[in-house]
């Protein structure tokens, strides 16, 4: 097969490749330069597939880089983003492996950063944070490990006490019992367990 034409698309940096006078596929500028493609070059079916796969992987990497540029992401989140861009499963696997090799993608690092951020900005109970990590695609064992190592029961009580102190200043109640009930519901909504809440409220 012969490349008979390379025509610019409306999309910036994208080109149409014509083989033997017929449209064959689209490629990004980087792929064309990378393979040194020119009009009148001869390519076979195997080479054409190699070029298309390389183009798709290049695009997938750019999508992943942009997505990871804003903040650390879990593997599940990156996979979802690549699927949204209609990238094939084999290419997704290659890009995920590539990102892991470069240490751009690490679920333990992500889980630790996420946990530290939550503890610092919006503290919640250990149980809820484990659940939120698994919802983001972090393996259950990893979530358990990260929370256990970085969010002790003692620290959880400290954070619950800090939240309770702030809440008590603004809560409106008819009587002490009503106030206690509202505080109880508030801490439950933040994911703290019954033992921690009872210890805090009964120590006042």
100 and 111 part of one domain: no
Least confident of 97-101, 172-176, 196-200: 172-176
* Residue 134, domain member (yes or no): yes
Whole-number pLDDT of residue 95: 96
Residues 99 and 71 in one domain: yes
Average predicted confidence (pLDDT) for the chain: 91
Average pLDDT, stretch 180-196? 89
Residue 204 has pLDDT above 80, yes or no: no
Residue % of the chain over a pLDDT of 70: 99
Task: Identify whether the C-beta of residue 192 lies closer than 8 Å to the C-beta of residue 121.
Answer: no
Q: What is the pLDDT of residues 132-177, one digit of tens each?
A: 999 988 999 999 999 999 999 999 999 999 998 888 888 776 787 8
pLDDT at 31: 95
CA distances from 169 to 163, 172, 173, 202 (A): 10, 9, 11, 18
Say how many domains are in the chain.
4
Other beta carbons less than 10 A from residue 48's beta carbon: 16
Tell me, yes or no, whether 179 lies in a domain.
yes
Q: 140 and 161 share a domain?
A: no
For residue 72, tell me if it sits in a domain: yes
Q: Check: CB of residue 182 under 8 Å from CB of residue 171.
A: yes
70-93 pLDDT tens trace:
888 899 999 999 999 999 999 999
Determine contact, residues 96/123, Cβ cutoff 8 Å.
no
Rounded distance, CA 49 to CA 84, Å? 22
- Local confidence band at 179 (pLDDT 50, 70, 90 cut-offs): confident
Query: What is the model's pLDDT at position 87?
Result: 95
Whole-angstrom distance, CA of residue 74 vs CA of residue 26: 31
| Beta strands in the chain, from DSSP E residues, in sequence order | 3-8, 14-19, 22-28
**Residues 59 and 99 placed together within one structural domain of the fold:** yes
- Are 38 and 25 members of one domain? yes
Q: What is the pLDDT of residues 8-63, one digit of tens each?
A: 999 999 999 999 999 999 999 999 999 999 999 999 999 999 999 999 999 999 99
Residues 159 and 198 placed together within one structural domain of the fold: yes
Same domain, 9 and 24: yes
Whether the CB-CB separation of 157 and 196 falls below 8 Å is answered with yes
pTM of the model: 0.74
Residue 79 located in a structural domain = yes
Domain membership of residue 48 (yes or no) is no
Residue 18 lies in a domain: yes
Domain encompassing residue 6: 1-43
Average pLDDT score over residue span 84-110: 94
Q: Do 168 and 142 belong to one domain?
A: no
Q: Which of 100, 46, 52, 55 is nearest to 78 (CA)?
A: 100
Q: Does 140 fall in a domain?
A: yes
113 and 100 within one domain: no
Same domain, 97 and 133: no
Same domain assignment for residues 159 and 146: no
Let me know whether 116 and 91 are in one domain.
no
CA distance 57 to 201: 56
What's 7's domain CATH number? 1.10.10.10
- Is 117 part of any domain? yes
């Amino acid at each position: 097969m012969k490349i008979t034409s390379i025509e610019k698309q409306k999309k910036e940096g994208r080109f149409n490749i014509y083989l033997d006078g017929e449209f064959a596929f689209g490629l990004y500028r980087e792929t064309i330069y990378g393979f040194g493609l020119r009009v009148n070059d001869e390519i076979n079916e195997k080479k054409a597939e190699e070029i298309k796969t390389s183009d798709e992987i290049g695009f997938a990497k750019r999508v992943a880089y942009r997505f990871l540029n804003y903040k650390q992401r879990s593997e599940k989140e990156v996979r979802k983003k690549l699927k949204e861009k209609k990238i094939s499963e084999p290419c997704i696997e290659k890009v995920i492996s590539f990102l892991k090799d470069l240490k751009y993608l690490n679920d333990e690092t992500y889980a630790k950063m996420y946990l530290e951020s939550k503890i610092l900005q919006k503290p919640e109970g250990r149980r809820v944070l484990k659940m939120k990590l698994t919802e983001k695609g972090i393996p259950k064992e990893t979530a358990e490990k990260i929370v256990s190592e970085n969010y002790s029961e003692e620290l959880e009580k400290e954070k619950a006490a800090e939240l309770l102190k702030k809440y008590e200043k603004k809560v409106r109640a008819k009587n002490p019992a009503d106030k206690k009930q509202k505080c109880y519901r508030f801490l439950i909504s933040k994911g703290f367990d019954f033992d921690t809440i009872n210890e805090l409220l009964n120590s006042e």
